[in-house]
């Protein structure tokens, strides 16, 4: 298959219980609709992550589209995947920039330098995998390690919405209303509405907030003047990286998390499609690493393969890489809309806080799910100690100092999990 050549299939294939494979596609009108659906699926998380770090959401959407195209070209159009903002960067970016949780990040340059360093490490790992395979990664990062590290990302961030995103009692109650809204959407709805539980819950909670504040005067009113005054099309606010050793050393280890995420993505798509994609693992890492460096160079977040889009593929049985090419082009168009960015900035802080509680909790639970799915044996003291120590190091923000450099929270948990497992796994 050449890069832009897919075998066309009719929707009847799906009605007969078949699937649309990565090298196949539906007719272009239906492919375009599926592309829109994938943009919607990644939308909530890809926009939320930059807001929590003080980045420009327009840049994040733009770079998610560009990153997806980079991934598409480097993997030769063989691996169906959408790249969106990675939540693995939130904790280390906040730590590196001392971001307070509201408005633009004044030290964004430091974060961007670290994101580029992370992308470079990730790309190097991809080159090594392309040369010698993935066995060494699976030995260093078994499920007990990856599960613990992923869980720590959510637990380390828990204090941000609870302590920093509710200025008073009304805001705290609005956080509660928000995560209840998300929960009700998750449980009481079906189909695409259920898959967009974060976005739909956020919209419902914002409407309730507007009624209570703009209508009844119970809190700070929503200000939509920025939305009305913003242009439909314009250049996003690009930012330049600043390369500082302390920030780079703090953020670069996130590459380990991105490797685990991408590895899981490839394994999941292989299982769903019945086509072994392990041969493209190295190229997938390189594609994600290069996309992360390009994003950081323009002012965007680090990017990763998205579980939301895996869910859409699993639900529709359509794995065509053509839909991700279309989705990327749509995201690039959205990135050049200041009005879209203004809408995102108008979301009330306590509503974002309530959504953050859900998202960070889901990240923590995702780590536990890795343990369950891989049947990690916690009667084995080696696994028990690695998981227990990692969770407390990350949640308690355990910090080690090396001269002027401090490694804390997610960093100590990540390196600690890998090194502790290697130590305890030594054969007697």
- The model's pLDDT over 169-202, given as tens digits with 9 standing for 90+, comes to 888 888 888 889 888 888 887 765 665 677 788 8
Say if residues 410 and 256 touch (Cβ distance below 8 Å).
no
Mean pLDDT to the nearest integer, 307-331:
80
* pLDDT at 388 (0 to 100): 92
- The model's pLDDT over 146-163, given as tens digits with 9 standing for 90+, comes to 788 778 877 877 777 777
Asked whether residue 2 is domain-assigned, the answer is no
Asked whether residue 371 is domain-assigned, the answer is yes
Asked whether residue 386 is domain-assigned, the answer is yes
- The model's pLDDT over 387-403, given as tens digits with 9 standing for 90+, comes to 999 889 888 878 777 66
Asked whether residue 197 is domain-assigned, the answer is yes
Mean pLDDT to the nearest integer, 278-303:
92
> Which residues does 134 contact at the CB level (< 8 Å), separation at least 6?
263, 278, 281
Asked whether residue 9 is domain-assigned, the answer is no
| pLDDT higher at 424 or 19 | 424
Question: Is the overall model pTM greater than 0.95, yes or no?
Answer: no
Asked whether residue 12 is domain-assigned, the answer is no
* pLDDT at 41 (0 to 100): 65
**Domain ranges, residue 165:** 19-424
* pLDDT at 291 (0 to 100): 96
Mean pLDDT to the nearest integer, 216-221:
78
* pLDDT at 407 (0 to 100): 64
Asked whether residue 3 is domain-assigned, the answer is no
- The model's pLDDT over 224-275, given as tens digits with 9 standing for 90+, comes to 777 778 788 888 888 899 998 888 888 888 888 788 778 767 776 777 777 7
Asked whether residue 7 is domain-assigned, the answer is no
Domain count along the chain: 1
* pLDDT at 16 (0 to 100): 61
């Amino acid at each position: 298959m050449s890069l832009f050549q897919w075998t066309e299939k009719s929707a009847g294939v799906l009605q007969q219980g078949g699937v649309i494979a990565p090298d196949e596609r539906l007719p272009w009108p239906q492919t375009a609709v599926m592309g829109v659906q994938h943009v919607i699926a990644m939308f909530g998380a890809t926009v939320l992550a930059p807001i929590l770090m003080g980045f420009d959401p327009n840049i994040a959407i733009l770079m998610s589209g560009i990153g997806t195209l980079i991934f598409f070209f480097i993997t030769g159009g063989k691996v169906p995947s959408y790249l969106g903002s990675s939540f693995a960067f939130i904790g280390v970016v906040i730590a590196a920039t001392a971001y307070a949780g509201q408005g633009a990040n004044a030290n964004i340059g430091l974060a961007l330098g670290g994101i580029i360093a992370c992308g470079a490490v990730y790309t190097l790992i991809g080159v090594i995998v392309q040369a010698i395979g993935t066995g060494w990664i699976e030995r260093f990062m078994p499920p007990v390690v990856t599960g613990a590290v992923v869980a720590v990302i959510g637990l380390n961030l828990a204090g941000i919405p609870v302590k920093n995103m509710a200025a008073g009692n009304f805001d705290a109650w609005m956080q509660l209303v928000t995560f209840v809204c998300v929960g009700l959407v998750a449980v009481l709805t079906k189909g695409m509405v259920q898959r967009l539980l974060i976005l739909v819950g956020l919209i419902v909670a914002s409407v309730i907030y507007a009624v209570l504040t703009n209508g009844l005067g119970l809190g700070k009113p929503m200000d939509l003047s920025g939305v009305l005054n913003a242009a439909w099309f314009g250049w996003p606010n690009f930012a330049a990286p600043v390369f500082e050793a302390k920030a780079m050393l703090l953020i670069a280890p996130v590459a380990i998390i991105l490797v685990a995420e991408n590895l899981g993505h490839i394994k999941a798509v292989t299982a769903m499609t019945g086509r072994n994609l392990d041969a493209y693992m190295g190229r997938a890492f390189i594609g994600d690493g290069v996309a992360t460096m390009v994003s950081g160079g323009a002012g965007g977040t680090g990017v990763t393969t998205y579980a939301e889009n895996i869910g859409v593929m699993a639900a529709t049985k359509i794995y065509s890489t053509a839909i991700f090419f279309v989705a990327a082009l749509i995201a690039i168009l959205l990135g050049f809309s200041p009005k879209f960015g203004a809408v995102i900035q108008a979301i009330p802080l306590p509503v974002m806080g309530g959504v953050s509680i859900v998202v960070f909790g889901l990240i923590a639970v995702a780590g536990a799910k890795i343990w369950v799915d891989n049947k990690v044996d916690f009667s084995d003291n080696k696994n028990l100690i690695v998981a227990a120590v990692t969770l407390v190091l990350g949640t308690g923000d355990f910090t080690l100092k090396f001269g002027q450099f401090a490694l804390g929270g997610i960093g100590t948990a990540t390196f600690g999990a890998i090194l502790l497992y290697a130590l305890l796994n030594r054969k007697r």
